[in-house]
Amino acid sequence: MFKIGVLVSGGGSNLQSIIDKSQSRELQCKVEVVIGDRECYGVERAKEAGIDGYTLDRKVLKKELCREIDKIVSERGIDLIVLAGFLSIIDEEFVNKWKGRIINIHPSLLPKFGGPGMYGIRVHEAVLKAGEQESGCTVHYVDTGVDSGEIIAQKRVKVLEGDTPEILQKRVLVEEHKLLPESIAKIISERR
């Protein structure tokens, strides 16, 4: 069975979409472990679903954070690491070791509105401020840059008149919940 490790920092709604699709067998994988870089509901979601969850304190661990994550995912024989709202920056050593086996979901149509400081509501504020006609989400491989890895898939979302950052964020999130499992399924099928 293809094993996934998911890294989270927040509520874990993208994690939930993966759990739901794997439990219904639409996604042929097992969520083996979930790791949070702070106390967050994402880790609780994992535990509620019977998945091992770990909370690592990024403030305490600092440079050791990636080593601790590496230790956990290596011991579990993880095939793919999924960053699902994970806010800590992964170090170069970790990225190089797991190259081609780490993906991230970002709430914009990369390469637009990516990079340092572009996460959460800030992305949607920037999209609206720029007067964009559309936004969306992107799943990409993680490289040593920020939001700069090879794009796997994207979904587009129209920007509507009267959109606030919060309203746009909710519409994009609906598409994230579809795109992330679809992207994982694509990777699994390519590796079989």
Specify binding-site residues. 12-14, 67, 104
- Residue 115's CB: how many other CB atoms inside 10 A? 14
**Annotated binding site for (6R)-10-formyltetrahydrofolate, which residues?**
67, 104
What count of Cα atoms within 13 Å lies in the side-chain half-sphere of residue 5? 21
List Cα–Cα distances, 164 to 45, 48, 148, 160, in angstroms.
28, 33, 27, 9
Name the 3-class secondary structure at 180: helix
Q: Phi then psi for 158, rounded to 5 degrees?
A: -65, 140
Q: Which of 140, 9, 16 is nearest to 65 (CA)?
A: 9
Q: Kindly state the helix (H) or strand (E) to which residue 45 belongs, with its residue range.
A: helix 41-48
The CA-atom distances, in angstroms, between 129 and each of 59, 143, 158, 165, 174 are 32, 28, 15, 10, 22
What is the CA angle 72-65-173, rounded to 5? Answer: 85
Residue 62 CA to residue 141 CA, distance in Å, equals 23
Active site residues: 106
